[in-house]
């Protein structure tokens, strides 16, 4: 009897191992035989809100706050289905096209693939790994910014170190501009993937929007187990990674290392008739993966594709999910003439080791002029030291949102004495390091110290800027907590060439000290001025600005004093648009374009957006008719 | 010989007694709120928990139960500012802070400080001022941590007697300490107290303790003995009886407020300061009544 039973079990086991789908039936039969109750696996759909926000590239709010910060995206929705501007939502730092067009923006990199639109990102961890069936995003204001959703195979809450981290694109699309700014639930059709995930990444592009996009919550729907394998299409092997093609290339490198002196057979047909430079020109339009694949086709094209002149500008940001040490190793040999390198967003979760990155920089850093390392969390003091030693002629360095960098690491930047553009948005740089940088980097043209909360005394920093960095063109002091009129006056008297100045959310600047009027008089080249949420800005400040700054194109006086808003609302709103009662405080976001002014007003209680028609602010050349637009019409 | 034994016994008893004190049970607060706005302004129901210019919140977190009341200062109405906005936003912000765990139970003034800071992060300039009182029960350690800025406050009642109470903080008569956000340029003129000026206290609580947190609308109209009389009727620690008691206290205070002949505590205080008045003080009344019970999910 026992042998019969055991034979039966043996046969069942073998059958079960051969085909998974019949296993359940056998399982239940076996269960009946053995007298136990077996539970059939049911594919229950699990719905989860984000548990924690793990990483992001920027946000509007200040660190340690819950207003307009990225941490609001975790958990259940706070605001949806209401639409409007609420502090309980997640808001990115920028919107619109201005940020790409201003002087402090980096030049676009060549070879950026057409489908890559992402400007910002946020990574969310969920409680349980599931096979995703749907992702829903609650957008509560100006939707349409999400351009890509990715899923990761690594569990961010597990204690194990990250190994074999894979990112898969669930959905990607173009940035859109929805007709009305109202709330919506965005649920694109996502691809099915063959690994369970509890780490999602949303990538965002807000350049088409008229105001900040605001996100409230994200739902991940998925199943815990995939029961019927046949129903899910197992995707083919991913499109060849950068690494793959380079590894093959590495292997293929062998046969090309011919001995010297042997003339090679050139049987390339018409390609031989084309001048070298022409083929180079054609190749310069290819994206990087295509270039690597093309290199594998034949010896001639391999020679072209490995020509260092093709790699004077290298943007690895669009391929952030697929890069590792091996990729850097393969690119190293071609990058001897590298001048501009964009490695933003790369190398996280252990993709780069110290040696990989260091050897790459040492090989390619000699002529490097621009280095973008935004959100690169693999950076540490050692690697910054390598950068400062390997790239002596560096002129542009972007360490935006590298918030895990130890404050000590920034002292190495002062060795880069030719720096012209330095972005330290949301880093932990401290007072001594920034002062030392400003002492040595006297050629600075663009400096971004937005949300640098560890700097103790911004007045001293401003004073140092005025003394040492007189050719400064733009400075971003967004949310600097303690800049006072003393520091601002010194800054504007020392740096006369300033074109862009961001003093948003600086609560300690008071208009009554006359600092804004002093600013207007001292900076004739001013093109952009942000005085966001400064409650003390008043009419006379605006009048001075329009009088003395003829090139002013972009002015943000959001939350300015009530009197100012009242007057403007009275005088300039288009009568056909729904008018708000004049007495209520209004928000103003003003863009000056040529002779026209666009005033975006958001009424406090209903959050409708009103736009003024063309309002004369005064022709850029003549300053006389300035008061026509501002104030109550009284001249001067 | 005998004395050694007796000492030994005493010591052993004390030690054992001390050990058994650490009771593994978590405590929690069963809380009900009730109140009246001064002018019965109907139709301006701001997400509940707002009575006229007063606002309150009740929030739970993993480790603590938190209550708060805020009394919006009515004087802003003369300047075109709605006083209920500040208190309501302050309380909602503090509630959110608690729910997201951005606080330390033993440091309730941190909730006020963070809440006030968050109010400043609004794009829309939020004007107004209010008092504030925050009460935090740490479930595990059975300690109640409180902070009070202004003339709202709390009472802790055990066995029919008041064992703890908050002190009123006033600058001068009818001008309590207050958190405020003033229009720019008026900083010197408008009273604005820092959250750090709040009174803090911490003490142990026992099962069955009753905590009454309220705005001055209650304390100015009902003296302690009347409140204690009402609280005697609270026998069980279920939500319905707590709500019923809270309602009866608030209603009684409301009735007394409009009695022109009654010598209310407010009138008494005024008389003591040379103002010859009688009667109740019509004001917004907010009552949060809590009883300490064992924690159940």
Tell me how far apart the alpha carbons of residues B232 and B244 are, in angstroms, rounded to a whole number. Answer: 12
Of B100, B117, B123, which is closest to A559 when you measure between CB atoms? B123
Question: What three-state secondary structure class fits A246?
Answer: helix
Per CB-CB distance under 8 Å, the chain B contacts of A507 are: 120
> Using the beta-carbon criterion (under 8 Å), do A65 and B184 form an inter-chain contact?
no
Of B121, B184, B185, which is closest to A61 when you measure between CB atoms? B121
Tell me how far apart the alpha carbons of residues B198 and B203 are, in angstroms, rounded to a whole number. Answer: 17
The CA distances from residue A587 to A93, A266, A603, in Å, are: 17, 69, 7
**CB proximity under 8 Å: A 555-574 to B:** 558-559, 561-562
Tell me how far apart the alpha carbons of residues A460 and A487 are, in angstroms, rounded to a whole number. Answer: 7
pLDDT of residue A16: 58
Q: What is the ipTM of this complex?
A: 0.83
> Using the beta-carbon criterion (under 8 Å), do B185 and A65 form an inter-chain contact?
no
Distance of CA A477 to the CA centre of its chain: 19
pLDDT of residue A27: 46
H helices of A56-206, in order, are 98-101
Tell me how far apart the alpha carbons of residues A148 and A382 are, in angstroms, rounded to a whole number. Answer: 33
Answer yes or no: are the C-beta atoms of B198 and B109 closer than 8 Å. Answer: yes
Of A65, A78, A512, which is closest to B185 when you measure between CB atoms? A512
HEC per residue, A196-210 = CEEEEEEEECCCCCC
pLDDT of residue A453: 93
Q: Which residue has the tokens 């993993």?
A: B62
Per CB-CB distance under 8 Å, the chain B contacts of A566 are: none
Q: In which residue ranges of chain A is pLDDT below 50? A: 19-28, 31-38, 229-262, 562-588, 591-636
* Mean pLDDT value across chain A: 79
Q: Which residue has the tokens 């197992």?
A: A234
pLDDT of residue A430: 95
Among A437, A499, A459, A508, smallest CA distance to A479 is for A508
Tell me how far apart the alpha carbons of residues A582 and A562 are, in angstroms, rounded to a whole number. Answer: 10
Per CB-CB distance under 8 Å, the chain A contacts of B123 are: 85, 87, 533, 558-559, 587
HEC per residue, B142-197 = CEEEEEEECCCEEEEEECCEEEEECCCCEEECCEECCEEECCCCCCCCCCCCCHHH
Q: Which residue has the tokens 């139960």?
A: B65
Burial of B51 (0-12, 13-18, 19+ CB in 10 A): buried
The size of the A-B interface in CB pairs under 8 A is 47
Q: Show the domains of chain B with their CATH numbers.
A: 24-217+285-292 (3.60.40.10)
Per CB-CB distance under 8 Å, the chain B contacts of A66 are: 96-97, 100, 102, 118
The Cβ of residue A110 has, within 10 Å, a number of other Cβ atoms equal to 14
Cα dihedral B49, B51, B54, B58 in deg (nearest 10): -20
Of B100, B125, B183, which is closest to A66 when you measure between CB atoms? B100
Q: Which residue has the tokens 């504030």?
A: B132
Question: What three-state secondary structure class fits B51?
Answer: strand
pLDDT of residue A132: 94
Of the residues B184, B185, B186, B192, the best mutation for testing chain A's interface (the one with the most A CB atoms within 10 Å of its CB) is B184
Q: Which residue has the higher pLDDT, A632 or B143?
A: B143
User: pLDDT tens digits, residue range B42-90?
Assistant: 444 455 688 889 999 999 999 999 999 999 998 898 888 899 999 999 9
Among A458, A464, A453, A376, smallest CA distance to A414 is for A464
Among A165, A155, A135, smallest CA distance to A196 is for A155
pLDDT of residue A472: 95
Answer yes or no: are the C-beta atoms of A548 and A540 closer than 8 Å. Answer: no
Task: Pick the residue from chain B with its C-alpha nearest to A604.
Answer: B124
**pTM here?**
0.81
Of A85, A87, A511, which is closest to B121 when you measure between CB atoms? A87
pLDDT of residue B287: 94
Q: Show the domains of chain A with their CATH numbers.
A: 2-34 (no CATH), 45-229 (2.60.120.260), 395-498 (3.80.10.10), 510-628 (no CATH)
pLDDT of residue B272: 87
HEC per residue, A352-374 = CCHHHHHHHHHHHCCCCCEEECC
The token pair that represents B123 in the structure block: 């794009």
Q: Is residue A375 left, alpha or beta, with left meaning phi > 0 and alpha meaning psi from -120 to 50? A: left
pLDDT of residue A571: 35
What radius of gyration do chain B's Cα atoms show? 21
Strand partners, A200: A124, A151
With a cut of 80, say whether residue B8 has pLDDT above it.
no
The token pair that represents A89 in the structure block: 């939502």
Answer yes or no: are the C-beta atoms of A481 and A507 closer than 8 Å. Answer: yes
Tell me how far apart the alpha carbons of residues B78 and B101 are, in angstroms, rounded to a whole number. Answer: 37
A587 interface with B at CB cutoff 8 Å: yes
Confidence of residue B18 (pLDDT cuts 50, 70, 90): low
* Mean pLDDT value across chain B: 88
Tell me how far apart the alpha carbons of residues B78 and B192 are, in angstroms, rounded to a whole number. Answer: 18
Of the residues A604, A605, A608, the best mutation for testing chain B's interface (the one with the most B CB atoms within 10 Å of its CB) is A604
- Contacts for B227-235: CB closer than 8 Å, 24+ residues apart: B227/B155, B228/B157, B228/B160, B228/B161, B228/B162, B231/B157, B231/B160, B232/B160, B234/B210, B234/B289, B234/B291
> Using the beta-carbon criterion (under 8 Å), do B123 and A558 form an inter-chain contact?
yes
CA distance B125 to chain A (A): 6
Beta strands A120-141 and A52-56, pairing class: antiparallel
What are the backbone angles phi and psi of residue B279, rounded to the nearest 5°? 105, 170
The token pair that represents B37 in the structure block: 């706005």
Distance of CA A247 to the CA centre of its chain: 30
Query: Of how many residues is chain A composed?
Result: 636
Of A67, A561, A604, which is closest to B184 when you measure between CB atoms? A561
**CB proximity under 8 Å: A 364-393 to B:** none
Mean pLDDT of B251-262: 91
pLDDT of residue A591: 47
């Amino acid at each position: 009897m026992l042998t019969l039973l055991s034979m039966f079990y043996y046969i069942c086991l073998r059958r079960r191992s051969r085909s998974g789908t019949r296993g359940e039936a056998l399982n239940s039969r076996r269960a009946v035989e053995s007298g136990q109750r077996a539970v059939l696996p049911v594919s229950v759909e699990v719905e989860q809100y984000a548990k924690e926000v793990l990483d992001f590239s920027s946000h509007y709010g200040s660190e340690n706050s819950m207003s307009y910060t990225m941490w609001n995206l975790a958990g259940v929705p706070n605001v949806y289905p209401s639409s409007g501007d609420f502090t309980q939502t997640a808001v990115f730092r920028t919107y619109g096209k201005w940020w790409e067009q201003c002087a402090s923006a980096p030049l676009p990199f060549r070879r950026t693939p057409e489908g890559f639109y992402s400007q910002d990102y946020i990574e969310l961890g969920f409680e349980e790994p599931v096979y995703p069936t749907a992702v829903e995003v609650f957008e509560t204001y100006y939707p349409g910014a999400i351009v890509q959703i990715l899923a990761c195979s690594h569990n961010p809450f597990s204690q194990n170190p990250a190994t074999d981290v894979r990112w898969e694109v669930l959905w990607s699309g173009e940035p859109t501009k929805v007709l009305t700014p109202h709330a919506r639930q965005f649920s694109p059709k996502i691809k099915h993937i063959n690994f369970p995930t509890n780490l999602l990444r949303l990538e965002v592009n807000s350049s088409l929007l008229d105001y900040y996009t605001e996100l409230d919550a994200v739902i991940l729907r998925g199943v815990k187990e995939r029961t019927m394998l046949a129903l899910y299409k197992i995707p083919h092997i991913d499109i060849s990674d950068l690494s793959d093609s380079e590894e093959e290339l590495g292997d293929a490198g062998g046969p090309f290392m011919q001995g010297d002196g042997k003339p090679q057979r050139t049987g390339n047909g018409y390609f031989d008739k084309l001048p070298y430079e022409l083929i180079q020109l054609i190749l310069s339009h290819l994206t990087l993966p295509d270039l690597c694949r093309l290199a594998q086709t034949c010896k001639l094209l391999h020679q072209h594709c490995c020509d260092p002149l093709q790699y004077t500008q290298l943007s690895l940001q669009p391929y952030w999910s697929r890069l590792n040490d091996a990729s850097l190793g393969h690119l190293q040999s071609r990058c001897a003439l590298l001048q501009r390198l964009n490695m933003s967003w790369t190398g996280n979760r252990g993709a780069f080791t110290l040696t990989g990155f260091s050897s790459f920089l040492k090989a390619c850093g000699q002529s490097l002029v621009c280095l973008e390392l935004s959100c690169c969390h693999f950076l540490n003091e050692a690697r910054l030291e390598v950068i400062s030693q390997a790239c002596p002629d560096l002129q542009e360095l972007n360490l935006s949102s590298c918030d895990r960098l130890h404050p000590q690491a920034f002292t190495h930047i002062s060795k880069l004495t030719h720096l012209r553009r330095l972005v330290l948005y949301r880093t932990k740089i401290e007072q001594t390091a920034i002062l030392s940088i400003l002492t040595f980097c006297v050629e600075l043209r663009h400096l971004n110290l937005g949300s640098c909360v560890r700097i103790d005394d911004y007045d001293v920093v401003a004073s140092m800027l005025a003394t040492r960095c007189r050719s400064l063109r733009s400075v971003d002091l967004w949310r600097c907590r303690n800049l006072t009129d003393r520091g601002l006056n010194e800054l504007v008297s020392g740096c006369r060439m300033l074109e862009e100045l961001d003093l948003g959310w600086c609560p300690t600047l008071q208009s009554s000290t006359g600092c804004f009027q002093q600013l207007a008089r001292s900076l004739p080249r001013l093109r952009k001025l942000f005085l966001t949420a400064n409650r003390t800005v008043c009419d006379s400040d605006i009048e001075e600005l329009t009088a003395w700054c003829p090139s002013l194109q972009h002015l943000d006086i959001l939350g300015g004093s009530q009197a100012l808003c009242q007057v403007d609302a009275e005088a300039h709103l288009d009568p056909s648009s729904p008018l708000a009662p004049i007495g209520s405080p209004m928000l103003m976001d003003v863009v000056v374009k040529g002779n026209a002014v666009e005033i975006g007003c958001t009424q406090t209680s209903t959050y409708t957006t009103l736009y003024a028609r063309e309002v004369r602010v005064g022709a850029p050349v003549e300053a006389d008719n300035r008061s026509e637009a501002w104030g109550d019409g009284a001249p001067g | 010989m005998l004395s050694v034994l007796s000492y030994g016994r005493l010591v052993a008893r004390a030690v054992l007694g001390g050990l058994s004190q650490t009771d593994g049970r978590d405590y929690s607060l069963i809380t009900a709120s009730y109140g009246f706005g001064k002018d019965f302004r109907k139709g301006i129901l701001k997400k509940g928990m707002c009575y006229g210019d007063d606002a309150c919140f009740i929030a739970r977190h993993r480790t603590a139960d938190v209550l708060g009341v805020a009394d919006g200062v009515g004087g802003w109405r003369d300047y075109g500012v709605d006083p209920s906005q500040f208190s309501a936003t302050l309380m909602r912000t503090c509630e959110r802070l608690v729910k997201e765990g951005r606080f330390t139970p033993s440091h309730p003034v941190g909730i006020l400080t963070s809440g006030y800071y968050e109010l400043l992060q609004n794009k829309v300039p939020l004007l107004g001022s209010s008092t504030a009182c925050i009460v935090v029960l740490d479930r595990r350690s059975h300690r109640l941590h409180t902070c009070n800025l202004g003339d709202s406050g709390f009472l802790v009642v055990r066995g029919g007697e008041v064992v703890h109470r908050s002190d009123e903080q006033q600058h001068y008569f009818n001008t309590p300490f207050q958190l405020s956000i003033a229009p720019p340029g008026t900083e010197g003129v408008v009273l604005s107290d820092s959250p750090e000026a709040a009174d803090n206290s911490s003490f142990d609580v026992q099962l069955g303790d009753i905590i009454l947190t309220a705005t001055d609308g209650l304390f100015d109209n009902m003296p302690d003995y009347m409140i204690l009389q009402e609280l005697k009727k609270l026998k069980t620690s279920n939500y319905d009886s707590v709500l019923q008691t809270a309602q009866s206290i608030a209603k009684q205070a409301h009735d007394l407020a409009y009695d022109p002949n009654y010598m209310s505590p407010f009138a008494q205080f005024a008389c003591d300061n040379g103002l010859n008045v009688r009667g109740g003080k019509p004001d917004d009344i907010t009552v949060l009544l809590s009883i300490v019970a064992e924690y159940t999910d």
